[in-house]
Amino acid sequence: MNETERKVNELAKHSYGTWRRQELWKTPILIKDAEGVYMYDDKDKPYLDFSSQLMCSNLGHKNKAIIEAIIKQAEKMPYIAPGFATEASIAAVDALRSVVPRGLMKFFFSTSGTEANEAALKLVRQYKAPNYKIISRYHSYHGATAAGITFTGDPRRTIAERARCTIQGVRFAPDAYCYRCPFGLKYPDCNIQCARYLDYMIKEEGNVAGIIVEPVVGTNGRIVPPPEYFSIIRQICDENRVMLITDEVMSGWFRTGKAFAIENWNITPDILTTAKGCTAAYTPVGITATSEKIAEFFEQETMDHGHTYAFHPLALSAIPAAVAEYKKLMDTGLPRRVSKYLQKKLYELADQHECIGDVRGIGHFWALEIVKNRETKQPFDVRADKFTHKALMTNRIAGEAMKNGLYFAAWYDTLVIAPPLIITEDQVDEGLNTLGKSLSVADKEAVSTGVPASKTSEYSKRT
């Protein structure tokens, strides 16, 4: 064992690895540098970043404009209490107003998407009191705090519930998951039942204050809803006087082609939460943006929320620079061109690999759902397997890819294909060539059906 390995082992011994059994945090890879769409380990081996780290490094690594803005603020004033105005907060608000959907006009700044959702909960429950229930969806992730994990539908909520670290008043609705429709229906003959069922839930539950949704589901599958979905939900919310919260922590910041994913359906939420990409992950910031009617309510009511690092000037300093860099990049046309190329290549890849059941996504935000039998949609693993000792097929594929210089995130049933917006067609080819070789791990154990993915992928049918 060399000195570097010893230090990494000491780190693992004295720190907690996130979302895992600690026996799996013994020998993490040491990353010493990152630039563009690549990161480099201590042996200078490059890894193509095919998931923008945790779907946050949207502008890639070492963007000079953002780094210079952070340095400038650090030299001037790294911190001041949130009760003061700063040039950094003024500039951040101005920058945000130029990109958020029209109708959202007041902001609270925290340090993560989890905290942004926690703030949204408090605002909605105060605004809608005595109504207090929140409806979320089963395929969702909204954070790690007591509120965020209770909103979350995925397996992490179950562990938190066992530890009694959740809040009261959250209910779960069916997903807009066409590949595995919870109602057993087929689009477009389904009448968008996944959306219309929310009206039934609201009326039967009573006391519903708000609905929280990821416009395009993030961790839990990059699920893109049918075109009519959000207009129906907006109407249901309005008719029942329920607030619509859109969680754009992953789907925001041009990842779907629009500044925020909800804009793909021309809908404005009552509250929008975001984080990650607002600084391209160069500093930790969470944002809770509200409508004017919510802002007016709190003119005479106490906004009962805040913390030491709210409106942190060093963190906020990255927002104006990031917004400017996004606008400049989008003006080049590169992201739009490459997203179409990526879609085409992912469909081609799926037809070459028996283990891919569904290809779905939008922009630079895609999922490959890995199945054992493409015809029956039998999965290799289910959500109950996520935190067991079973070696998940998606993790095995990701591990094989890492050996060959390709990094991407994996969930229990899907691979996350969400590269930085600066990626080129040649780099997409590089990533997919390596991914294709790695998929052989699953192909060997998949049932041979002879059915191409283009015949089973629900999203490809809709597009």
b/e code 208-242 from CB counts within 10 Å (16+ = b): bbbbbbbbbbbbbbbbbbbeebbebbbebbeeeeb
Going from the C-alpha of 354 to that of each of 230, 414, 445, the distances in angstroms are 33, 14, 9
**Ordered alpha helix ranges (H), 291-333:** 292-297, 313-316, 318-332
Q: In which region does residue 25 sit, left (phi positive, over 0), alpha (psi from -120 to 50) or beta (all else)?
A: alpha
Q: Say whether 286 sits in a helix, a strand or coil.
A: strand
Please check whether the domain covering 3-62+332-462 is classified as CATH 3.40.50.740.
no
The answer, yes or no, to whether residue 460 has pLDDT greater than 70, is no
| pLDDT tens per residue across span 254-297 | 999 999 999 999 999 999 999 999 999 999 999 999 999 999 99
CATH architecture of 64-328: 3-Layer(aba) Sandwich (3.40)
pTM above 0.85, yes or no: yes
For the chain, what are the domain ranges? 3-62+332-462, 64-328
Average pLDDT over residues 194-212: 98
∠ CA 51-52-56, nearest 5°, is 120
Query: For position 450, what pLDDT does the model report?
Result: 76
Residues 131-143: tens digit of each pLDDT = 999 999 999 999 9
Asked if the domains at 3-62+332-462 and 64-328 fall in one CATH topology, the answer is: no
Chain segment 416-453, per-residue pLDDT in tens: 999 999 999 999 999 999 999 999 999 999 998 777 77
